[in-house]
Homo-oligomer: A and B are copies of this chain.
Amino acid sequence: MNSELLHEYIERISCLLGSETRVVGTDLNLQPVQLNALNYISRSNRYSNTPQGVTEYLGLTKGTVSQTLAILESNGLIKKSPDKRDGRIVRLSVTPAGNKLLRKAIPSPSMRNAWGELDRRDQNALVEGLKQVLFEMQKKNGMQAFGICGTCRFNSKKEEKKFFCELTQENLSPKDTELLCREHQPT
């Protein structure tokens, strides 16, 4: 057994996911990368919900991402708003229409079905394996790994349901700790 099979299966599953995405969003001419960006925005925290965050997350250039975000905005799936403190920064948020679409498309219906056919042991092994592969690949490519605050070494628990980010010196709500962060450092 070698890594070629892994490569092949991932690419083929991704192809299938792409086809399904296009079908779900036919009326909007929705592209796979648009859905990925939309999903990221919906799950990113207040330090990460920017074009720059999307760029790092997807590993694309800022120019490419800028175009994709422009289309998402013109389709009414996201909203751009200026940052109050820093005039260079644009804040991204998902609109109700965007959320509706997300719920329809992620996870893909056929993947959800396939997932259900696996027993719990195989589900865990699969996701854990992929997680490790992704992590190693990101490391090798010098990319930021992202992750939720709940698993970050900068996150300290002050008391019950009171969290604090040592990096930004700000308080975090329990909900905050479930969002993706650009600055995430595993413990």
A residues sitting closer than 8 Å to B (CB atoms) are: 1-17, 19-20, 32, 36, 39, 57-60, 106-118, 120, 122-138, 140-141, 143
Contacts and interface: CB of A to CB of B under 8 A. Distances in A.
Number of this chain's copies in the assembly equals 2
Contacts of A134: 9, 12-13, 16, 114
A156 to B, nearest CB: 25
B110 A141 contact: yes
B58 A13 contact: no
A7 B35 CA distance: 12
Given A16-B134, A122-B128, 10 more contacts: A1-B124, A3-B115, A6-B130, A7-B106, A16-B141, A19-B59, A109-B140, A110-B141, A114-B140, A126-B133
A6 B111 contact: yes
A135 B112 CA distance: 13
B16 A36 contact: no
